[in-house]
Amino acid sequence: MNMRYDQFEQLLTKMGISIVPKETRHIRGYDVDAYRKLAKQTEGMDFNCSDGSSFCRYIYVREGACCVDCVDTCGHWQREGHVLDEDSARKMAEYCDVHEGFCREGMGCILPRELRSPVCLYHICSDAKLTGADKALLCKLKCGANEK
């Protein structure tokens, strides 16, 4: 069952994640809108995660693979300074399940890419199918706006 915003807000508080106004939040040096624009560009990338029969080749090998800590870290946002902007929190609430986080059986993450944390965006199974431009974009998301 997906959460209402007030329930999601309580979950964030339990995780030690503060909610701040969107205009004050920066994600790895990017303002929220710039970050979302970059994140959305990852939609067409082939992370080579599927093995043909499952959305994730490692789901049963690593007990959840990259999604394993989703529910305990609020989609790995806890790792981003324990801060989330209110606009993102309101949008994310409708996708969050108290037991599963944002990961769904047989589907993987159901969050739109622009709401996913940097960890979720740059963690990949293989770069074999990524272009040079894809790799450069992932580096921007991982290293941030202030890295050269």
Predicted TM-score (pTM) of this structure = 0.86
Q: Are 76 and 117 in contact (CB under 8 A)?
A: yes
Is 22 a domain residue? yes
Count up the domains in the chain and report the number. 1
Euclidean distance between CA atoms 70 and 108, whole angstroms = 10
In a domain, 65, yes or no: yes
The answer to whether position 148 is within a domain reads: no
Domain-located, residue 147: no
Q: Which domain holds residue 87?
A: 5-142
CA angle, corner 111, sides to 28 and 24, nearest 5?
Answer: 35
**In a domain? residue 76:** yes
Instruction: Specify the pLDDT at position 127.
Output: 81
The predicted pLDDT at position 61 comes to 56
Q: At what angle do helices 86-93 and 5-14 cross, to 10 degrees?
A: 110
Model confidence over 69-106: pLDDT tens digits? 777 888 889 989 999 999 999 999 999 988 888 888 77
Q: What are phi and psi of 19, to 5 degrees?
A: -105, 130
Residue 69 lies in a domain: yes
